[in-house]
Structure 1
Amino acid sequence: MADAVRPTRAELRVAARAQSRAERRGAAKAATRTALLGVALPSLAALGVAGAAAVTVRGDADRSTVAGPATEAAPAAAPDDGRSPDAAGGTDAERAARGEARPPLSAQEPVAAPTETAPAPAPVPERPKVSLPVELHGLSATYGEAGTHWTARHTGIDFPVQGGTPVMAVTDGTVRTQWNSAYGYMAIVKAPDGTETWYCHLRTYKVRKGQVKAGDVIAYSGSSGNSTGPHLHFEVRPDGGAPIDPLPWLLGQGLDPR
């Protein structure tokens, strides 16, 4: 047998390069197949899920058409956790525990903020039913006295006040004013019961006519008419008739002018 022919170095190099290229091509083809399988398999799986969902939806639509629009899906059953909750939620033991832990309702209610009580209005002083005609006490002449200044006995009482002293209505009533040669400027207050009180020898008036209350200033004292000096002549005439002694009448009203 003839000896085998050994390849030359050049041939070995050519063969090695060819084998290397073949191996690289094989590795590239294997990587390509792997990549294609990695993309294709999930896509096929997704298509399969979509197809199954479409079949399910179509089936549900068909069932809804047969059952009619009034049919409603039954609510999903609650998972059975071994307890028996009621409408209030939780088991009896849990509700009891919550009841024990819950504070009393009264403690939860907000406490109303204290409100400031408005101070009571000051009481209005009660108006007097009867008042003295002047603030000064003391008389210079009394009822029934005789003298050269009067044609008859004195028909009232005199208060020795200075000119310009405020003169007040003794009772509630209606006031009128007039001139008299003996009494000078005078004011007459007629009370609701008809009693008239006369205020004489005045200097000026504050109220000439109208309604007044006991204690209202109606005029100012003077010395007009038949007078020897400033003073107030005061008379009381029940029912507008003859004069009476003003002193007992005032005392009977709880007032003492002396």
Structure 2
Amino acid sequence: MAPEAAPRPTRAELRVAAREQSRAQRRGAAKAATRTALLRVALPSVAALGVAAAAAVTVQGEADQQRAEAAGRIPEQTTAAGAADNAGAPHTEAAQAAQQALAAGDAAQASRGDARQPLSASQGGADSAGQTADQAPPERPKISMPVALHGLGETFGAAGTHWAKRHTGIDFPVDGGTAVMAVTDGTIRTQWNPSYGYMTILKMADGTEAWYCHLRSYKIRKGTVKAGDVIAYVGSSGNSTGPHLHFEIRPAGGGAPVDPLPWFLTHGLDPR
């Protein structure tokens, strides 16, 4: 028995099949257009990623170079072209961006180098100041005034009712409590005398003695002193009419007192 022949499609069925095929073709064309658009958008993004990767490599290279310079060695330079190749991006735009970043880094590094030059000069000034501060202090004077204020009252050899014969020293009319200083290096001792009151005697290396009389009090009663050391304070003790310092110079061996003014002048001091 022969098989039955398949029925032939009607015209209506042929029109429906044609419409379905047309729709499928349009859908395929739309998908192809979408893929093309996506590829066009993605390609610039890949290029941008390449530029960013090249810039990142350049910045990292600069940081490595600065650390190596601080450690005393120079690392191998990373080139802009190599950074673009490693990033897998288009070479032209990535290399240009990397070169611009590297040039900017070199300019910044040069500016920092220029800024360090004045710093070395300022450090030199600081060293000079330190050397000035380390200089030795001035030497102590070998001869000093007995009081800071110049000016004399009664002078050596003056006559008057206050002395049995003549005035045996020079008087400094200063206020009570004024500091009295050693006129030179030596050793001192203190004592009381009815005429001189509280007194300090400074004995010099050659035996010459300096007498400080009519004192109020002592700062140093005995021992070694240097020129300019404060040893006592001015008063009006003993045979005195008011606060002042009576100062005498007596030669070695207990001789008669001599005029202290020439002694001061000989040593470059003028108490007048």
**Class of the TM-score when normalised by the shorter of the 2 chains:** 0.5 to 0.7
For residue 119 of structure 1, the aligned residue among 131, 136, 148 is 131
Cα deviations across residues 98-135 of structure 1 (Å, max 9, x unaligned)?
xxxxxxxxxxxxxxxx9985625132121110001001
Tell me, in whole angstroms, the C-alpha distance in 1 between the residues paired with 2:141 and 2:226: 9
Give every structure 1 segment of 4 or more consecutive aligned residues whose post-TM-superposition deviation is greater than 2 Å: 114-120
Aligned to 1:254: 268
Structure 1: how far apart are the matches of 2:210 and 2:255?
A: 11
Please report how far the alpha carbon of residue 171 of structure 1 lies from its aligned counterpart in structure 2 after TM superposition. 1.0
Give the Cα–Cα distance (whole angstroms) in 2 for the partners of residues 251 and 221 of structure 1.
23
Residue type matched to 1:196 in 2? E
Secondary structure of the 2:233 match is strand
2:255 equivalent to 1:241: yes
C-alpha separation between the residues in 2 aligned to 1:241 and 1:177? 19
* Counterpart position of 1:168: 181
CA distance in 1, matches of 2:256, 2:267: 20
1:139 matched to which residue of 2?
A: 152
Q: How does 1:12-161 map to 2 (within 5 A)?
A: 119=131, 121-161=134-174
1:186-205 pair list within 5 angstroms: 186-205=199-218
Length, aligned pairs only: 145
**1:238 Cα deviation after fit:** 1.4
**Counterpart in the other structure of 1:20:** none
User: Deviation digits for residues 158-185 of structure 1, max 9, x if unmatched?
Assistant: 0000000000000100010000000000
In 1, the alpha carbon distance for the partners of 2:174 and 2:165 equals 24
Query: Which amino acid in structure 2 is aligned with residue 193 of structure 1?
Result: D
Aligned equivalent of 1:49: none
SS in 2 for 1:192: coil
Deviations 1:62-110 (A, max 9, x none): xxxxxxxxxxxxxxxxxxxxxxxxxxxxxxxxxxxxxxxxxxxxxxxxx
Question: Residue in 1 aligned with 2:52?
Answer: none
1:197 Cα deviation from its structure 2 partner: 0.3
Q: TM-score, normalised by structure 2?
A: 0.51
Alpha-carbon shift at residue 241 of structure 1 (Å): 2.4
Return the structure number with greater helix share.
Answer: 2
Q: For the residues of structure 2 that align with 1:215 and 1:242, how far apart are their CA atoms?
A: 26
What secondary structure sits across from 2:249 in the alignment?
A: strand
* Stretches of structure 1 lacking an aligned partner (at least 5 in a row): 1-113
**Hey, what's the Cα distance between the residues in 2 that align with 1:244 and 1:145?**
13
Q: Which of 210, 223, 237 pairs up with 1:224?
A: 237
Which of structures 1 and 2 has the bigger CA Rg? 1
When the two structures are superposed, what TM-score results if normalisation uses the length of structure 1? 0.54
What is the one-letter code of the residue matched to 1:224?
S
Identity %: 72
AA of the residue aligned to 1:251: L
Aligned-partner residue type, residue 177 of structure 2: G
